[in-house]
Amino acid sequence: MRGLLIFLAMFAAAFVAAGLAVSFVTALSYVRVQRGGRPLLPGEPEIETLPPLLKEQENLSTIRIWGKLLARVSHVHTLKKHIEEANLSWSPGRVTLAMLLAGATTGSLLAVPDWIPGWLAALAGLAATLGPYLYILRRRAERFQKFAALFPEALDTLTRALKAGYPLSAAIELLGNEQPEPLAGEMRRTRDEWKLGTSWDHALDNLASRIPIPEVRLFAAAVKMQNRIGGRLNDVLARVGEGMRDAAVLESEVRAISVHSRMTGMVLTFLPLGIVIMMMLVNPGYVMTLTYSSTGRTLILVAIIANVTAHFLIRHLSRVRM
């Protein structure tokens, strides 16, 4: 009975943690859009990638009851958008259930031993809850980084195609056929939207919404400006591509300069763990003495928390934002 109550409590805590995590990322994404892009004017409609009828027919989960429950959560569409941006075939229902089960199971298993404090079991359960969502965010960031790395070369190909006399639609179709993923798929989707009757401005805005990185927003703004005032688009795209390439070189130099700080943080993080392993191999009783008393166990927990905190602090300080 006690184990069931602990499992239910961990399940509820995991649900709250999942909601807070999605809410935090939603607020952070909103702040970044307000800083990096143009905010919507009063009364200006938002750009929708799908008609409202299709949006209403989207299933959030294969379990109807769970899907109805998720539909009442305001941030579930943000989670669905992050899954799509990560190019994963998961549904929000599967992700949320995986988060809840991981958190509840981890917290319940760690709550069984008496020598593990309850707050540590709860903290580990919350960390396990965030695991699937953090994996999605990592896959999403890697996909955006790969897209940004391929984009300058794609702009060069687009510029050469325009100089050769290709229209913009044929040049973008050329990118969709010859460039690697994920750039090719996004270009084909943009071309398909235009063929179905969407204007180039809306199609490029949808592209910038699916790939929210500065390079794509700059490309969309350049093409829309050329459509409004005229001019030679190939020259504009050539300068945009050159600027992106220079920015990438500068970012690489900054990362090379900061690699010493990041390596120092990694060494300082794993050095205590290596020392403990060596002492366990040489004299296990010397280390196990700490586990025999409450003071020793408290010192072990404090050392773990301090080590993890110092790792993320050094990582944050060594990060240089462009």
The pTM of the full predicted model, rounded to 2 decimals, is 0.68
Residue 123 located in a structural domain: no
**Integer Cα distance of 211 and 184 in angstroms:** 13
Domain count, the chain: 2
Each of the 322 residues of the chain gets a pLDDT tens digit; together they read: 555 455 555 555 555 555 555 555 555 554 444 444 444 444 444 444 444 433 433 567 778 888 788 888 878 888 888 998 888 888 888 899 899 898 888 888 888 877 777 777 888 888 889 999 999 999 999 999 899 888 988 888 888 888 888 888 888 888 888 888 889 999 999 999 998 888 888 999 999 999 998 889 988 888 888 878 877 888 888 888 888 888 888 888 877 777 877 888 888 888 888 888 888 888 888 878 877 888 888 888 888 888 888 888 888 887 766 5
Q: Indicate whether 223 and 263 sit together in one domain.
A: no
- The verdict on 150 and 211 lying in the same domain is yes
- Domain identity same for 216 and 175: yes
Q: Within this chain, do residues 153 and 202 fall inside the same structural domain, yes or no? A: yes
Check: CB of residue 171 under 8 Å from CB of residue 180.
Answer: no
Does one domain contain both 195 and 274?
no
Do the beta carbons of residue 311 and residue 269 sit within 8 Å?
A: yes
Backbone angles phi, psi at 63, to 5 degrees: -90, 115
> Could you count the other beta carbons within 10 Å of the beta carbon of residue 81?
18
- CATH number, domain containing residue 236: 1.20.81
**Angle (CA) 200 206 209, round 5°:** 145
Q: Which of 226, 251, 276 is the last residue of a domain?
A: 251
Containing domain of residue 265, as a range? 257-322
- Give Cα separations from 211 to 186, 220, 240, 307 (angstroms): 9, 11, 17, 36
Q: Are residues 167 and 235 in the same domain?
A: yes
